[in-house]
């Protein structure tokens, strides 16, 4: 069989670095294209099946580093909302990839800023771009926008989020990823933007869902697939109670 040099994709190097734990460039190698594709598939599957329990690690981080501020508010600034734990985000990205790998995802959509880290890791493993909705006006983002109003109960403010129509297309299959799902305002705003783009919504992935608030149920009642890695049923009495799956 004749060897052919196939177009270089820097994503391959990311996969090889993650797998072999050392820098290595696929750019200098010559492969049969079909063999190389199988090689990449094997690497991606082995990365996903390294044996770590992503959900268990997330719940452990919540219990050890999370702080209950009230019956409604959980602070996770130590690993997600302010300081970010890269290794945990990597595991979270793997978990979202495992759950949505068969959906034909072409874009991940999130909202600035806390949703960006888990979305980026999922984008790395799925091999797709990540688009984040902006909360603030930009001089370079003025025309051809999809917009939606999003109210934050935590910050007690309403923002108009926006995404350029250049990066969200009618043919896209979109996975929404965010850090928290509580009342569902951010998720519903992002779902609205996907509809405006005439794209297909594959589902909504959340790192943490407050199961005692209405957001998750409202989305599920609309027939939207919701995958939350850790669902919290209660924060009462300063105790974190997880829903058992």
Selection from 85, 102, 89 nearest residue 54 by Cα: 89
- Distance separating alpha carbons of residues 207 and 58, to the nearest angstrom: 8
Distance from the first to the final alpha carbon of the chain: 50
Q: CA-based angle 177:179:184, to the nearest 5?
A: 80
CA atoms of 224 and 24, how far apart (whole Å): 41
37 or 200, higher pLDDT: 200
pLDDT digits (tens, 9 = 90+) for 158-189: 889 999 999 999 999 999 999 999 999 999 99
Q: What is the mean pLDDT of the chain?
A: 86
pLDDT at 15: 54
State pLDDT tens for residues 82-102: 999 999 999 999 999 999 999
The answer to whether 26 touches 8, Cβ cutoff 8 Å, is yes
Determine contact, residues 174/89, Cβ cutoff 8 Å.
no
The pLDDT, as a whole number, for residue 28 is 47
Give the pLDDT band (50/70/90) at residue 1: very low
Taking residues 124-143, what's their average pLDDT?
87
**Considering only CA atoms, which of 117, 188, 197, 203 is closest in space to residue 158?**
188
Contact 159, 135 (CB under 8 A): yes
Q: How confident is the model at residue 14 (pLDDT cuts 50, 70, 90)?
A: low
Question: Is the domain covering 54-242 a CATH 3.40.1390.10 domain?
Answer: no
Q: Which of 41-45, 115-119, 192-196 shows the lowest mean pLDDT across its residues?
A: 41-45
Which range has highest mean pLDDT (4-13, 119-128, 146-155)? 119-128
Q: Structural domain boundaries of the chain? A: 10-48, 54-242
């Amino acid at each position: 069989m004749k060897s052919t040099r196939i177009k270089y994709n820097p994503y391959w190097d990311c996969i090889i670095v993650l797998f072999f734990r050392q820098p290595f460039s696929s750019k200098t190698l010559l492969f049969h294209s079909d063999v190389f594709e199988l090689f990449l598939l094997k690497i991606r599957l082995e990365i996903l099946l390294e044996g770590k329990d992503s959900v268990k690690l997330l719940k452990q981080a919540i219990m050890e580093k999370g702080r209950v501020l009230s019956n409604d508010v959980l602070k996770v600034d130590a690993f997600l909302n302010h300081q970010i734990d890269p290794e945990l985000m990597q595991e979270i990205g793997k978990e979202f990839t495992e759950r949505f790998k068969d959906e034909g995802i072409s874009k991940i959509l999130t909202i600035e800023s806390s949703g960006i880290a888990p979305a980026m890791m999922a984008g790395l493993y799925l091999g797709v771009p990540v688009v984040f909705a902006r909360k603030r006006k930009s001089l370079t983002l003025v025309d051809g926008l999809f917009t939606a109003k999003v109210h934050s109960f935590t910050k007690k403010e309403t923002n108009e989020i926006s995404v350029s129509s250049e990066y969200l297309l009618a043919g896209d299959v979109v996975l929404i990823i965010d850090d928290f799902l509580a009342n569902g305002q951010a998720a519903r705003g992002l779902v609205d933007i996907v509809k405006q783009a005439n794209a297909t919504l594959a589902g909504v992935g959340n790192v943490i869902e407050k199961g005692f608030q209405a957001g998750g149920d409202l989305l599920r009642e609309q027939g939207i697939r919701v995958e939350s890695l850790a669902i919290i049923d209660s924060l009462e009495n300063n105790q974190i109670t997880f829903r058992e799956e």
